[in-house]
């Protein structure tokens, strides 16, 4: 059966369509056009979404958990619980993200996450879908580890990377690495060859080391400004490379805590609407009251809107819909521009298939319905109307 969605406005997100009609067949968008120029197919099921704005479902390429659960947990209910929570906030696709842990725990978590990705047919239509794994650590700097446990950090080697790759059965799609580490460039080259989005982060790299990492195959930056050598006017370091190299896309945690709103504006002016990527770096504490929660093998505490461990920020409690609204507020951008940072930009950065993160014929019908403020009114996964 053909399903037709009607709404007030649609962001593809590169273009705007007034009074759109979106035709969906078997979970795939078959056509999109204005009601002024298209006819509704006979016998179609018409769903009138009134004065809503339709946009691609959000993509979070850096998230550790939510709703009280961490993505590395062995509890079989952990991921479904996280995914139902993400769905409520407009996320249809996500990259479960590891945090540095003892090697055996990381390998076991990668195996479980690979199972979840491969179990695609078993996913409910009312939850986000994992599409690839983000390996954050252990190939990061002892000088900029954040809350990653120093005892479990490892020197990057091809042998260790292969162990991760085999445990994940090739589902590692994003990998954070500090480019200045001995052996890093060999791992960067090989991961890039295998189609991984190699991202520099948790790094004390100077400008030359960052540029050498890019030359080896780095194409992205992990939570820019956080756990990085600071930008100095005579020593631009890794941030100087991230902000000025047009080959790099870059993440930002736009919660107003990890990065001051003024610096978010600086970031957006340098990376622009094509290369800036919103991520949440959300932990199990997201959506939960103050208290203690897990981040991988670590315990973190949430109080006054901050997720902390030993006096350091430890991920966030940000949701993607709030991140989009924050961009509108921090930078005075319009909603269509902000939506790009949560849809097509992460899809392109992480090398997802063409049309992912867009609303276009042939794309999966992963859609979020928003009001004019950017609040989520409804989430649609693969055309399933709930």
Rounded to an integer, what distance in angstroms lies between the CA atom of residue 385 and that of residue 94? 20
Q: Point out the residues that are catalytic.
A: 281
Same domain, residue pair 87 and 101: yes
Identify whether 171 is part of a domain: yes
Same domain, residue pair 155 and 8: no
Rounded to an integer, what distance in angstroms lies between the CA atom of residue 92 and that of residue 98? 19
Q: Per the structure, how many domains does the chain have?
A: 2
Residue 229 tokens read as: 């050598």
Same domain, residue pair 206 and 247: yes
Same domain, residue pair 36 and 153: no
Half-sphere exposure of 377 toward its Cβ, with a 13 Å CA cutoff?
14
Same domain, residue pair 21 and 118: no
Same domain, residue pair 50 and 107: no
Beta-bridge mates of residue 197 = 174
Sign of torsion, CA 67 71 72 73?
positive
CA torsion angle 309 311 314 320 (round to 10): 130
Identify whether 358 is part of a domain: no
Same domain, residue pair 41 and 124: no
Residue with tokens 């100087």: 240
Report which secondary-structure segment, H or E, holds 294.
Answer: strand 291-295
Query: Residue 121's pLDDT is what?
Result: 56
Q: Is 246 exposed, middle or buried (0-12, 13-18, 19+ CB in 10 A)?
A: exposed
Rounded to an integer, what distance in angstroms lies between the CA atom of residue 278 and that of residue 350? 13
Query: Residue 42's pLDDT is what?
Result: 86
Query: Residue 239's pLDDT is what?
Result: 98
DSSP state for residue 203 in the 8-state scheme: B
Query: Residue 123's pLDDT is what?
Result: 65
Query: Residue 1's pLDDT is what?
Result: 82
Identify whether 91 is part of a domain: yes
Helix locations, 219-298, DSSP H: 237-244, 261-275
Same domain, residue pair 289 and 224: yes
CATH number at residue 233: 3.20.20.140
Query: Residue 41's pLDDT is what?
Result: 87
CATH number at residue 49: 2.30.40.10
- In angstroms, the first-to-last Cα distance of the chain is 16
Identify whether 362 is part of a domain: no
Query: Residue 122's pLDDT is what?
Result: 56
Same domain, residue pair 76 and 50: no
Identify whether 361 is part of a domain: no
| CB distance 16 to 30 below 8 Å | no
Residue with tokens 């100077």: 206
Identify whether 106 is part of a domain: yes
Identify whether 360 is part of a domain: no
Identify whether 385 is part of a domain: no
Look up the domain containing 295 and give its range.
Answer: 58-353
| CB distance 132 to 175 below 8 Å | no
Rounded to an integer, what distance in angstroms lies between the CA atom of residue 245 and that of residue 230? 17
Sign of torsion, CA 195 177 70 278?
negative
Q: Which long-range contacts does 116-125 make (Cβ < 8 Å, 24+ apart)? A: 116/79, 117/171, 118/169, 118/171, 123/83, 124/80, 124/83, 124/84, 125/381, 125/382, 125/384, 125/386
What does pTM read for this prediction?
A: 0.97
Block means of pLDDT (10 residues each) for the chain, length 386 residues? 95 97 96 91 92 98 98 96 98 98 98 93 81 97 96 98 98 98 98 98 98 98 98 97 98 98 98 98 96 91 91 94 98 97 98 96 97 98 88
Same domain, residue pair 67 and 117: yes
Q: Is 246 left (phi over 0), alpha (psi -120 to 50) or beta?
A: alpha
Same domain, residue pair 46 and 126: no
Query: Residue 320's pLDDT is what?
Result: 98
Same domain, residue pair 375 and 249: no
Query: Residue 385's pLDDT is what?
Result: 85
DSSP 59-88: EEEEE-EETTEETT---TTHHHHHHHHHHH
């Amino acid at each position: 059966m053909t399903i037709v969605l009607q709404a007030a406005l649609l962001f593809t997100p590169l273009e705007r369509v007034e009074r759109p009609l979106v035709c969906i067949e078997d979970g795939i968008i078959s056509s999109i056009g204005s009601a002024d120029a298209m006819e509704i197919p006979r016998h179609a099921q018409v769903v009138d979404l009134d004065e809503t704005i339709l946009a691609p479902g959000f993509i979070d390429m850096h998230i550790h958990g939510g709703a009280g659960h961490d993505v590395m947990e062995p509890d079989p209910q952990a991921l479904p619980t996280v995914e139902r929570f993400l769905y409520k906030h407009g996320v249809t696709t996500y990259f479960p993200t590891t945090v540095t842990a003892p090697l055996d725990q990381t390998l076991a978590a990668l195996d479980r996450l690979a199972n979840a990705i491969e179990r695609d047919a078993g996913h409910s239509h009312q939850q986000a879908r994992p599409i690839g794994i983000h390996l954050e650590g252990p190939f990061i700097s002892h000088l900029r580890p954040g809350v990653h446990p120093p005892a479990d950090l490892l020197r990057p080697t091809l042998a260790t990377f292969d162990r991760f790759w085999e445990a994940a059965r090739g589902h590692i799609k994003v990998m954070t690495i500090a480019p200045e580490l001995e052996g890093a460039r060999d791992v960067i080259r090989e991961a890039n060859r295998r189609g991984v989005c190699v991202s520099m982060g948790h790094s004390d790299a100077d400008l030359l080391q960052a540029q050498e990492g890019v030359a080896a195959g780095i194409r992205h930056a992990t939570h820019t400004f956080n756990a990085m050598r600071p930008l100095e006017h005579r020593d631009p370091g890794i941030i100087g490379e991230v902000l000025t190299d047009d080959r790099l896309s870059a993440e930002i945690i736009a919660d107003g805590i990890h990065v001051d709103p003024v610096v978010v504006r600086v970031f957006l002016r340098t990376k622009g609407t094509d290369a800036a990527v919103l991520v949440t770096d959300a932990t199990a504490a997201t959506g939960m009251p103050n208290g203690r929660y897990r981040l991988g093998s670590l315990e973190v505490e949430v109080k006054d809107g901050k997720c902390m461990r030993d006096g350091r920020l430890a991920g966030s409690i940000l949701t993607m819909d709030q991140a989009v609204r924050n961009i509108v507020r921090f930078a005075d951008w319009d909603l269509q521009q902000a939506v790009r940072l949560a849809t097509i930009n992460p899809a392109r950065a992480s090398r997802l298939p063409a049309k992912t993160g867009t609303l276009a014929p042939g794309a999966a019908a992963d859609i979020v319905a928003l009001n004019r403020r950017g609040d989520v009114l409804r989430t649609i996964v693969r055309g399933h109307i709930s």
